Structure 1
Amino acid sequence: MTAPQPDPFPGASRPDAPGGETKPDAAGQEPSPVAGLAAEYAAKAGLHRTHDGRVDVLRSAGGVQGIAESILPGLLFLVAYTITRDLTVSLVAALAAAAVFTVVRLVQRRPLTQALAGVVGVGISAWLANTTGKAEDFYLPGFFTNAAYIFAMVLSILVKWPVAGLLFGFIRNEGLDWRKDPDRLRAYRLGTWIIVAVLVLRLAVQVPLYLMGPEGFAALATTRLLMGAPLYILGVWVAWLVTRPARDAAPGGQDAALKP
């Protein structure tokens, strides 16, 4: 049994409040619309906090089931195409895996957002690969998605609303106060750059493999799996570590448990 979770949205609009009501802060004042939106964004991003103050990276990645949902369709596509060299069979295998996860979530009565997003993503990839007849095009949409995330995160840094601050700030009960502290703002900008670096690394490794055509397919598919959820988890963990407040870096602090 896990300990009760601390409220990560003090003084902000609770996205899970009945009827979408806004809770006033400790002073009895209504929170700013920006604080409410940021709190809702942090919640929808899927990041979670353990009872001892750490970011629960595994749960934030969707848990074991969520990671399987992100990896298995691509893995089945790779295995099926390597064995059969039949693009249609391989695409059906990937789509079937994504559909099975959606059914599983229906049976479990769990939110379908992640599974449906996976089905849509695999569906678009399968349609493109089937249209062009090139197996490597199965991975092409992911490049554009990756580039869009890079653009959004770099933009958030430039306008001084770094994504890492929006995500981690509410997990740490900092709200938006970190924006008033130059050191905290600098730390969260650095944390966001780390996540950007992970996304850029994906493109730097995978795009050349894609451009190799059929000769680079196996390496592209393999690196896509390795640089998916595993690399995301590593990037979030490192970003969390480098954005620790000084008061939490001391022994016994909230983030002390994250030290290697």
Structure 2
Amino acid sequence: MSDPSRPGDPAAEPDANPPAAERDEADAAPSASEMLGAALGGAARRAGLDPAEGKSTGHVVWAAMGGWRGILESVLPGVVFLVAWTVTYDPDPDVRSGNLLLSLGLSVGLAAVFTIVRLIQRQSASAAIGGLIAAAAAAGLSLWTGRGEDSFIPGFLTNTLYGTAFLVSALIGWPLIGLAVGFLMGEGTAWRADKRKRRVFFWLSIAWASLFALRLVVQLPLYFAGDVTALGTVKLIMGLPLFAPMVAVTWLAVRALYPRTPK
């Protein structure tokens, strides 16, 4: 009578040929790249960036910015902070702390109003809530240090994170743009077999990484100089005015790769 625990006993060894159902299930399991592509593609679709829908470039860029309401929600808190800081600025440290509290309070308060209005109207408030959390975190950090320029640190971290993600993904051959588009167009990662698509997605990801890097290159010297007014102004200029053209270029490049076939 054989010992089932003895090495070499067929009863103790794993089945080298699992049932077909188990093999199919393993093959059907999504890879990490597919799951990431689904997450990125889903976010792009919710933002109105779906090449399969055949919308015009202007419509897509406008949707990506959130229309007039999205623009106001993303720009006005920063404008209010900048104006309040500039108008009430005083070199006296005791007075400056009060100016900082006023400027941050108005900015965060406005972001809170935008969020509350969306919630009351039962509209999607994810972007507004995200903006409110970011504004509150920036205000908390700035109040803790007592330095107005420190309210821009979360933005620096965000640009660093996004820029690094786009750059690394492009350099290792899995550009984030390609993962998102592959999901939206229903081809998964099959685009990697097409040299033209790989090249376009590579350079698009490099372009986005360059945008985030440019923001850091221009804004960090102003941060270390403690020039809050100039830093706030440059941040606004390098925000939507640069984001919108990049969305348009990305959209046009992707549409060129996937031309619509006449029905």
TM-score range, shorter chain: 0.7 to 0.9
Query: What residue in structure 1 maps to residue 180 of structure 2?
Result: 167
- 8 Å CA contact 2:85–2:229 kept in 1: the answer is no
Query: What residue in structure 1 maps to residue 5 of structure 2?
Result: none
- 8 Å CA contact 1:192–1:239 kept in 2: the answer is no
Correspondence 1:1-260 to 2 at 5 A: 33-34=30-31, 35=34, 37-45=36-44, 46-49=47-50, 51-54=53-56, 56-85=60-89, 86-172=99-185, 174-213=187-226, 216-245=227-256, 248=259
Measure the CA separation in 2 of the matches of 1:172 and 1:90: 45
- 8 Å CA contact 1:143–1:203 kept in 2: the answer is yes
1:36, distance to aligned residue in structure 2 (A) = 5.3
Unaligned runs of 5+ in 1: 1-29, 255-260
1:19-38 Cα deviation digits (max 9, x unpaired): xxxxxxxxxxx976244552
- 8 Å CA contact 1:47–1:167 kept in 2: the answer is no
Q: Which amino acid aligns with 2:150?
A: D
Query: What residue in structure 2 maps to residue 26 of structure 1?
Result: none
1:204, distance to aligned residue in structure 2 (A) = 1.1
- 8 Å CA contact 1:163–1:192 kept in 2: the answer is yes
Q: Which amino acid aligns with 1:74?
A: G
Q: Which amino acid aligns with 2:179?
A: L
1:53, distance to aligned residue in structure 2 (A) = 4.2
Q: Which amino acid aligns with 1:131?
A: W
Bigger relative CO (Cα 8 Å, ≥ 6 apart):
2
Give the match's secondary structure for 1:69.
helix
1:24-73 Cα deviation digits (max 9, x unpaired): xxxxxx97624455233211243424753445122122222222221111
1:147-171 Cα deviation digits (max 9, x unpaired): 0111111121123221111233444
What TM-score, normalized to structure 2? 0.75
1:96-145 Cα deviation digits (max 9, x unpaired): 01101111110221222211111111011101111111111111221111
Aligned length: 219
Answer with 143-152 or 49-58: which moved more.
49-58
CA 1:149–1:67: 2 relative to 1, 3 Å: same
1:181, distance to aligned residue in structure 2 (A) = 0.8
- 8 Å CA contact 1:77–1:94 kept in 2: the answer is yes
CA 1:246–1:70: 2 relative to 1, 3 Å: closer
1:197-244 Cα deviation digits (max 9, x unpaired): 11111111111111111xx22111111111112211111222333445
Unaligned runs of 5+ in 2: 1-26, 90-98
Seq. identity, %: 38
Measure the CA separation in 2 of the matches of 1:230 and 1:173: 31
What TM-score, normalized to structure 1? 0.76
Q: Which amino acid aligns with 2:30?
A: P
